Structure 1
Amino acid sequence: MSARANKTPRPRRAPAAPSVKRSLASIVLGFELIVVFLAALVLFGLKSLPPAVALGGGAVLCLVMVATLAMLRHPWAYGVGWAIQVVVIVCGFFNPALFIVGAIFAAMWTYCMINGDRIDRQKEIA
């Protein structure tokens, strides 16, 4: 018999319970990604910005959001999420409707971060 055949299989670890905070953050950023893409098209269509800035800036912000979605397993990614909320609100200077959109998403992000943390802490205690 070979040494490989005598080896007993290692017990598998149970997968960690998914973080509610991470799930909520990915939902908010996913929906916000769609809205930011459409907002970039609006800024381009209304000629609020030069085409390269409107479409290029929108593309860069969308790529940052996709990268942040992929990195939500790291604690620093939530800080990037907060920065994204600020950038979307600041885009309101180019089109005032984006102040409202940014405020709505910032409120949802805040709610999800606070309650996601609270639920995750309660799950750890239980």
Structure 2
Amino acid sequence: MSKDDRPRPGDPIKPKKPAKVQLASATLQLEAFVVLFAAFALYGLRDSAYERGPFVIASATALWIIAGVLFVTLLVLARTVSRPGGYLAGSVAQVPVLAMGLLLPMMFVVAGIFVVMWVVALRLGGRIDRERAEYDAAHPETAPRVDS
């Protein structure tokens, strides 16, 4: 970074996107791809008697429709997590991902890790945002502001 690229006193500072939104969105995006990869595994195991859970989706078409809907839902929720009810919807979306363990038992472990990541994203993101707000209140000269 050259000396000319640095902000000078009085330059408008663009507000940062909230950490809670960034962490929650990233978690949902990663989770969407885990669902996609689990669908590939289920598709590959569809004619095998091994490594399947107590439930079996007999039709490959049904498998891809279910996985596709969950994939798209998670991606949409990742974009809308900052809107009212977004965090609640993201929390509810953890249930069908965890339920994929009934089809592929290893998904209980993987989805469980993502549930923990979701909780950490909400708690840690909220904490980071609170600490940023406290710092900005204590240092108004460096606080982000938008000048029209």
Q: Equivalent residue for 2:24?
A: 25
Q: Equivalent residue for 1:44?
A: 43
- Structure 2 counterpart of 1:65, one-letter code: L
Structure 2 residue runs without a partner (length 5+): 1-11, 47-55, 136-148
Deviation at 1:69, TM superposition (A): 1.5
Match of 1:120 among 120, 125, 129: 129
Match of 2:98 among 77, 86, 89: 89
Deviation at 1:96, TM superposition (A): 0.7
State yes or no: 1:72 paired with 2:71: no
Structure 1 residue runs without a partner (length 5+): 1-12
Contact 2:32/2:72 (<8 A) preserved: no
CA distance in 2, matches of 1:116, 1:101: 22
Higher helix share: 1
CA distance in 1, matches of 2:79, 2:124: 21
Q: Percent identity?
A: 30
**Stretches of 4+ moved more than 4 A in 1?**
none
SS in 2 for 1:16: coil
Length-normalised TM-score, structure 1: 0.82
CA distance in 1, matches of 2:116, 2:84: 20
- Structure 1 counterpart of 2:62, one-letter code: V
Aligned length: 114
Q: Structure 1 stretch 104-113 or stretch 67-76: which is displaced more? A: 67-76
State yes or no: 1:107 paired with 2:116: yes
Q: Equivalent residue for 1:7?
A: none
Length-normalised TM-score, structure 2: 0.71
RMSD in angstroms over aligned alpha carbons? 1.5
